[in-house]
Structure 1
């Protein structure tokens, strides 16, 4: 009986050893498969939106000086810059997987996209420029926001400019129903204002000094009304897999800011060439911008305020957790 008992023990030990070896082989195979998958997911292309208006000097410097190419060519990563100027089109491209980074996108577009299920994250601030967003008119009798009552106002719906209009009306104890608001792009809106088919227009960027040169005037800017928050956003699933790339992206963005600080005249020149504004116009507008990429508590409050604006005006039914929308890669 003892012999059988010993034989049984030996047999169990052998089986355990075989199972242990098999387990090691399974783990090794799993690790190999994982490594192969990671290798297969090596980044070969990065798509970064390029928007130069209203006055996106960091983007202009990054593109004209080849800063992203310099960084990512080290790993044979090709960088493309699709010119997608509408926030909604950018988020559609993010949802389709054809855009990895939105280099400058309105907070309104990001919040709307996230609320509708698009996997998108804010990884930094691009700019704050309340004075660069305006309500304008060519009619000399329209001097204040109160003078807009009953007037036809044109501009892009669901944007910072639209938010500016509503905040300005609210400040003067007016509602959107007190004016005739028509959804229209900035260039078309300016044309309508200058031709007299609209009483006022929502205008930002180079179109502001150009309209002033043609006889229009500013009724109000966003100062004290909106922060005009523009953010840097990334495709969520890309960020999950390649946070290291996102960190390098933000490092390049900081290099462009450093270049602007150390070489202002060249930065003005590059911006002038891209926007078709004079150097003096660029300098004047440049002083209206805060390009600090750090996300502050005030920025978060402004993002929440923007979400409230969208909800209160029927453009948003489902809200998102603003803090969860922010991905800190520092």
Structure 2
């Protein structure tokens, strides 16, 4: 599941309820009159939570204002979670856009996808990696031999572990992968039931700040190509390309603003409770965002790196065959300015 990025919000993947939530709200996603005689398009988007520029866009109405220029508005449908269920929701016409990682997207594209990718954010060099406790005897990647590492199957987490092992010459079968949902791993890691945890900044930030953990290696150190990517439902892109372009523009500009002033985008709705970034987490969250990137077009160079990820997953038997990502990419710069 990676991210975005649109900074911290882009990877604020805190829940796994997207399918049920989307299903319950899909009936409200039809067109309605906008008072000007033109149908208003509804863009169904996972709720952004409490942090990031999309959260602020929900609170201050700026996203709806940006989309109003193309006669559209947002319907927030549940919470952002791992990309696998979001990909299913896209294919089932229960969601229109969603954020994930290229690693999780490759795994989803190996199925029968109903979506394409229209934007990317450069890999997170410092916010994702392999966590170990500060008092752990594991000091190097080689020390993982014979030990247990918690990973989420077929996405960012498994990719980071396999990349680290490959780079350090450790056979993958010498390390036990313990497959867990990311949002259920913290307790297992903190209790010592696993020796390490491969994860991304949604979970690494609180673990480092509050649980005495640190990165054994981070994304940069393993040579990660794990982009964050935005996906759009095929039918929506075909019917409403102007809305996709307007949304992309908001993502790009919003990410730049958040990167310039990360503190202004923390705890948008509340500074207490389970969704709040704690004082101990703020410094880490701000540093990660400042070193991150914003959503951008998918270039030829990006496409080549997507292909590298797909080849790596095929070589590592994460996917049964090599996934050709190219047919599932949209050039946002040439996307039609009017609906078909």
* Match of residue 338 from structure 2: none
Judge conservation of contact 2:150–2:178 (CA < 8 Å) in 1. yes
Conservation of the 8 A alpha-carbon contact between 1:134 and 1:204:
yes
Cα 1:163–1:91 change in 2 (3 A) is: same
Q: Specify the alignment match of 2:9 in structure 1.
A: none
Say which of 190, 193, 197 aligns to 1:194: 190
RMSD: 2.7
Distance in 2 (CA, whole Å) between partners of 1:187 and 1:120 is 25
Q: Which residue of 2 aligns with 1:218?
A: 215
Q: Does 1:153 align with 2:149?
A: yes
Q: Using a 3 Å threshold, how does the CA distance of structure 1 residues 197 and 321 change in structure 2: closer, same or farther? A: closer
Q: 1:290 aligns with which of 275, 290, 293?
A: 293
Normalising by structure 2, report the TM-score.
Answer: 0.75
Q: Deviations over 1:66-120 (max 9, x none)?
A: 2221133467644112213011111111111111111x21112322333322131
Alpha-carbon separation, structure 2, partners of 1:124 and 1:204: 19
In the alignment, which of 320, 324, 329 is matched to residue 327 of structure 2?
324
Give the direction of change, closer, same or farther, for the CA distance of 1:108–1:234 in structure 2 (3 Å limit): same
**Which sits farther off after the overlay, 307-316 or 80-89?**
307-316
Given the superposition, is the C-alpha separation of residues 59 and 306 from structure 1 closer, same or farther in structure 2, using an over 3 Å criterion?
Answer: farther
Residue 284 of structure 2 corresponds to residue 308 of structure 1: no
Q: Deviation of residue 253 (structure 1)?
A: 1.8
- Please name the residue that 1:63 is paired with: 58
For residues 145-174 of structure 1, give each alpha carbon's deviation from its aligned partner in whole angstroms, at most 9, with x where no partner exists. 011100011121111121110011111211
Deviations 1:164-210 (A, max 9, x none): 10011111211221011110123432321211111111232243243
Specify the alignment match of 1:260 in structure 2.
258
Q: Deviations over 1:282-322 (max 9, x none)?
A: 21221231224132333222211221132223332344432
**Conserved 8 A contact 1:166-1:176:** yes
Aligned to 2:32: none
- Larger gyration radius, structure 1 or structure 2: 1
Per the alignment, in what secondary structure is the counterpart of residue 218 of structure 1? strand
For the 8 Å contact 1:206–1:275, the answer to whether it is kept is no
- Separation (CA, whole Å) in 2 of partners of 1:193 and 1:264: 28
With the length of structure 1 as denominator, give the TM-score of the two structures.
Answer: 0.77
Structure 2: stretches of 5+ with no match in the other structure: 1-37, 334-340
Q: Do the aligned residues in 2 keep the contact of 1:166 with 1:175 (CA within 8 Å)?
A: no
Equivalent in the alignment of 2:136: 140
| Structure 1 portions without partners, runs of 5+ | 1-40
TM-superposed CA distance for 1:275, in Å, is: 4.6
Indicate the SS of the match to 1:154: strand
- In the alignment, which residue of structure 2 is the partner of 1:238? 236
- Secondary structure class of the residue paired with 1:223: helix
Give the structure with the higher percent helix.
Answer: 1
1: CA distance, partners of 2:245 / 2:234: 14
| Alpha-carbon contact 1:67-1:256 (below 8 Å) kept | no
